[in-house]
Amino acid sequence: MFSWNRTAQINVPKIGQMAPDFKLPDQNGKIYTLADFRGKWLVLYFYPKDDTPGCTKQACMFRDDFHKLTLLGANLVGISVDSTTSHTNFAKKYNLAFPLLADDEAKVATCYDSLINLGIVKFAKRNTFLIDPQGKIAKIYLLASASRNSTEVIEDLKKLQFL
């Protein structure tokens, strides 16, 4: 039996490596690249599906902690393989003020080894990457907890900024 929480993550970018680049539209059609965030910390979180219980919980936790992340000099970006239309509806419904990038071809999720490919159905794995101001991966949260991910990122970001 297939269990997507136990899928191997053998090609995940490593801590200290440059984060894989991306060029994707957000829920408003604005195109973002990794270079847009150079000079600031970036919380890049992958999530399976807009408007599902776990993904909604995770997005709302990040929404509620958005001010704390901003005070720490961090940007926040969510990525799933959903469409920009789906992201627009999700962001409006839950008042999400951060970019949700549409990786509808699953290329970026693949580069971050954060894709579950079931053939005709694809989902992003719930992985989060904390990327430093130079564009290097500073921390990785594989199969992140929807309810704790935001808090864990904030705690680690505080620690990493004082190293």
Active site members? 55
Tokens of 36: 């847009």
Q: How far apart are the first and last CA of the chain?
A: 44
| Cα 46 from Cα 109, distance rounded (Å) | 7
Tokens of 92: 């409006």
Helix, strand, coil: what percent of the chain each, to 5?
A: 35, 25, 40
Q: Can you tell me whether residue 157 is helix, strand or coil? A: helix
Ramachandran category for residue 49: left, alpha or beta (phi over 0 → left; psi -120 to 50 → alpha):
beta
> Which residues neighbour 116 within 8 Å (Cβ) at sequence distance 6 or greater?
4, 7, 48, 122, 123, 124, 125
